């Protein structure tokens, strides 16, 4: 368990250092997760090391939303003035995500179907 925590924190640290030093406009933990995904892809045996810890984290994932909820309550006054714009942005981005997902699925399914037809010939 210590090994997996060390690996997770090291990936997050790599992400934070890279973002701060390169001035990238994304959160360090997001880059750290990408580093973790790359490590898991390159070294599949690492999955056995981190699986128990990550399963435990996922079991308590709802606790990670508490700070976001507190932040929303703390800035509740802003929803009066900026609320309609936030709702519009949320609904618009969700709709755009769904449309892009549908077109991606259609494209990938056609690609897989074409490969299947070529393989059967």
Domain boundary, last residue among 43, 59, 75: 59
6 plus 42 within the same structural domain: yes
Note whether 27 and 19 are within 8 A (CB): yes
Band the pLDDT of 121: cuts 50, 70, 90.
low
Q: Report yes or no: 47 and 40 within 8 Å, Cβ to Cβ.
A: yes
Q: What is the pLDDT of residues 10-28, one digit of tens each?
A: 999 999 999 999 998 888 9
Number of domains in the chain: 2
Residues 71 and 53 in one domain: no
Q: Please indicate, yes or no, whether residues 39 and 83 belong to a single structural domain of this protein.
A: no
pLDDT at 100: 98
Listed residue (44, 8, 46, 47) closest to 29, CA to CA: 8
Asked if 46 and 56 touch (Cβ cutoff 8 Å), the reply is no
- CA atoms lying within 13 Å on the CB side of residue 85: 5
């Amino acid at each position: 368990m210590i090994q997996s925590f060390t690996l997770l924190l090291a990936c997050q640290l790599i992400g934070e250092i890279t973002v701060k030093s390169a001035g990238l406009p994304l959160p360090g933990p997001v880059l750290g997760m990408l580093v973790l995904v790359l490590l898991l892809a390159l070294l599949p045996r690492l999955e056995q090391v981190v699986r128990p810890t990550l399963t435990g984290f996922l079991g308590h994932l709802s606790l990670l939303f508490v700070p976001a909820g507190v932040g929303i309550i703390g800035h509740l006054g802003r929803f009066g003035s900026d609320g309609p714009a936030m709702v519009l942005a949320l609904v618009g981005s969700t709709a755009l995500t769904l449309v892009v997902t549908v077109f991606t699925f259609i494209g990938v399914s056609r690609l897989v179907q074409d490969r299947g037809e070529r393989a059967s010939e």
